[in-house]
Each structure stands twice: as structure tokens, then as C-alpha cells.
Amino acid sequence: MRHSFMPDILPHRDREINEIASIMVPALRGETPSNIFIYGKTGTGKTAVVKFVGGELETKGKELGKHINFVYINCEVVDTQYRLLQNIANHFINEWDERIPFTGWPTDEVYSKLIEKIDRIGGVTTVILDEVDKLKGDEALYNLSRINIQLKNAKVSIVGISNDLKFTEFLDPRVKSSLGEENIIFPPYDAAQLQDILLQRVEMGLKPNSIDDDVIPLCAALAAQEHGDARRALDLLRMSAEIAERKGLDKITKSFVRVAQNKIEIDRVIEVVKTLPTQSKLILISILLRERHDNKKSSNNPINTGEVYEIYKDLCKKTRIDSLTQRRVADLISELDMLGIITARVISKGRYGRTREIKLSTDADEITRILKNDEVYLNISNYKINAQTRLI
């Protein structure tokens, strides 16, 4: 039930599979397929579909005695030109071949070695670049897209996968046109489709009758809200199952899904808060202090940018950390908003100006717990805010 598991049947992706297959199929005749660019949000099945089609073509190729190779590279891991070339080259390793070291060679030498290797093997090689947007610099893409010019005996095509629709906008135009010969967009799954995906996995992974009827619709609905992320849907189901198992129960119920959803959310917040840079932490703590002060008085006046900045400045003074300008702090507040740990909405108070209304989007106690052992927080935790929103 892990999302990394790849089933033989990918529900609701027939159109995409056919489309990609029909673009790639010239490879079976030894021709170069067009380069493809694939877009889609996380958990829309991009990687699964491409790997699936790749696998099918590879076996078909073997039947027909054609050389068809697929090289899968995740650019988040392999993010420089050198390592990209090295990785592709080392994919075609065999016992009499030398391995290209992970550092030390000039880049062009790796490049020519790669050409030599691909040429010797011949046939059609498809390089799949997952998360291409993570690749540093477009030189690598440029070189790779022109590799065919130097090949005598082999063909190379490229499949780029990205979840950033705007990725190509700031790409070298030459790379853009050569990579974007074919564009495919993976739409998000809707709730009904997610249900089918979950049902398929349930059949494979769970005993019959171990699941309440309303569990799958709930998982699907929650994941559909999360831009139709199948990965999220599977995670929810798997975690609910694990929770049930840990409790020694043999039936998954709706309430476990809620717990799982909550846990996923908290885990995310923990991860984000822990890795926040010092200044952002201070800002978050300022909001936290202010919110706590507010609750105590049970007066519920909203927090705005100016207030946060005042508290923040006080905190900086007390901890002898250089304070940033309000302009910068405003940006950091937007950043916290984007990370989903606070919500900051622009409102107008008429005569009394325009500002952003800031709220923690996670429970204040939860955040306090996360920060409990934090170095920055420890120096501050004993401060409170008085009626004039000054730090005491």
C-alpha cells in the first residue's frame, strides 16, 4: 500500500498511457521518438505512467530484438550536469567497462564517454528526467538535447517530468523548443477516481471485510481536496490501517482516517517549523506569544503585521539578534503563510489602514510543543506580553 509500489494496472490513466506510448512507439522501428514534457501535480501518476510505458516498450523491444533502453533519473537527487551525465553513462555499465568516477573528470570527457557508450550499444535510448525543474542550470538539458547530432549508431530521446507548469518559461528557448516537442498534462484525480485507485490497492493489500464502507470515500475526498493527490490518498489509507493494527483491531473505521489525516498534517508542521531559519522562527514565536496573550484575555482581536513587528523587534533586542526591516518581515510572514503554518489575509480597516490579519493555522499548544526544545525558543519562552503589547 505504499505509493512507491507500482501496480500492473493504473486506473484512469489510459489516455495518458496511450498518448505517451504512441509518441514512443517509433523507437520499436529504430526511429527517434519526439522528446516529451510531462506536467502534473504530485501524486497524479506521472512517474508511474512513464515507468509503466517504459517497461512495456522494453519488453516489446526484446521480443523484436531491438535495443530499447530506459534510463530513469531523479533530478532532485542528481542535480548537476556532471552527475547527470555520469549517471546516464554508468547505467550502461558492463564488466569490461570502466565506471565513471563521481568526481574528477572534466565534464566534456564524461560527455564524450557517454556518447561513445551509447553509440556502442546502439538502438534507442530514452532518458527520463524526473523533477527536471530541480536540475541546476539548463546547460545540461541543452547538451543532452543536442546529443543526437553526435551519435552515429544510436538515438536518444528525452522525457522531462515536472510539477511546475511555469518551468519552461525561463528556460533557454533552444532547449524549450527541443524538449517541448510534445507536451502532456496530467490532470489531478477527482474523488471518484481516487476511490478506484484505493479499491484496487485494498483488494491487493487488505483482508476482506477489514474496512468500513465509508473509509475509502473519506480518504478519497480528503486527498481530492489536496489537489487530487493519489499519494496522499494511499498514505491516509495505509496509516489508518497501521493505526488499527497497532490498536489490535481488525477493522479500519472512519475515525482512524481522521487521526491519520491529523498526524500527516502535524508531521508536516513539525518538519517545517524545525527547519525554519532563525529570523522566521522569531517571527513565528512573536505571533505565538501574541496569540497566547490574546487567548488569556479571551479578547479576540486579530493580529496584524505592525503588532507582530513590534513584538519581533523586542524579541530581537532581548536576544541580541539583529532585527530585519518591516519590509523584510512582511515577506517572511508571507512565506510562513505559503508554508501553511499561519494564515495571513489582507484586510482593510478603513480609516485605520490596510494590513494583514495573521492567525496560526495550527494549534498554538502544538507549535509550543514543537518548539519546546528549540534553541531559539528556550531563550525566550519566559517572556510575556503586556497590555500595550510590549514584551515583559
Partner DNA sequence: CTTCCACAGGAAGGTCTGGCGG
Partner DNA sequence: CCGCCAGACCTTCCTGTGGAAG
The phi and psi torsions of 250 (rounded to 5 degrees) equal -110, 15
The correct pick among 349, 372, 384, 390 for binding DNA (CB under 7 A) is 349
The correct pick among 34, 107, 319, 379 for binding DNA (CB under 7 A) is 107
| Cβ-based nearer residue to DNA, 111 or 186 | 111
Rounded CA separation 370/376 (Å): 12
Asked whether position 350 contacts DNA by CB under 7 A, the answer is yes
The phi and psi torsions of 111 (rounded to 5 degrees) equal -60, -50
Q: Write the interaction track for DNA spanning residues 75-104; mark x where CB under 7 A is met and - where it is not.
A: -----x-x----------------------
| Cβ-based nearer residue to DNA, 197 or 324 | 324
Strand partners, 71: 127
Judged by CB under 7 A, the stretch of 60-68, 91-99, 188-196, 353-361 that binds DNA is: 353-361
The correct pick among 237, 355, 370, 377 for binding DNA (CB under 7 A) is 355
Cα angle 287, 292, 293; round to 5 = 100
Judged by CB under 7 A, the stretch of 8-16, 118-126, 257-265, 304-312 that binds DNA is: 304-312
Closest approach, Cβ 261 to DNA, in A, equals 29
Closest approach, Cβ 116 to DNA, in A, equals 20
Closest approach, Cβ 279 to DNA, in A, equals 5
* Three cell numbers, residue 211: 474496512
The correct pick among 324, 367, 371, 385 for binding DNA (CB under 7 A) is 324
Rounded CA separation 260/76 (Å): 28
The phi and psi torsions of 68 (rounded to 5 degrees) equal -125, 120
| Cβ-based nearer residue to DNA, 107 or 253 | 107
Q: How far is CA 288 from the centre of its chain?
A: 28
Closest approach, Cβ 240 to DNA, in A, equals 37
Judged by CB under 7 A, the stretch of 90-98, 146-154, 286-294, 302-310 that binds DNA is: 302-310
Asked whether position 201 contacts DNA by CB under 7 A, the answer is no
The correct pick among 86, 193, 279, 286 for binding DNA (CB under 7 A) is 279
Buried b (16+ CB within 10 A) or exposed e, 98-121: eebeeeeeeeeebbebbbebbeee
Asked whether position 328 contacts DNA by CB under 7 A, the answer is yes
**At residue 154, what is the residue type?**
A
Helices (H), the chain: 14-24, 46-64, 81-91, 107-121, 139-145, 147-150, 173-179, 191-205, 215-225, 230-246, 254-274, 278-297, 305-319, 326-338, 364-371, 375-378
Closest approach, Cβ 82 to DNA, in A, equals 7
Asked whether position 325 contacts DNA by CB under 7 A, the answer is yes
Residues in contact with DNA, counted by CB under 7 A, come to a total of 32
CB 302 within 8 A of CB 345: no
Closest by Cα among 256, 260, 254, 319 to 286: 319
Asked whether position 117 contacts DNA by CB under 7 A, the answer is no
Query: Site residues (CB under 7 A) for DNA?
Result: 80, 82, 107, 137, 277, 279, 304-307, 322-328, 330-334, 346, 348-356
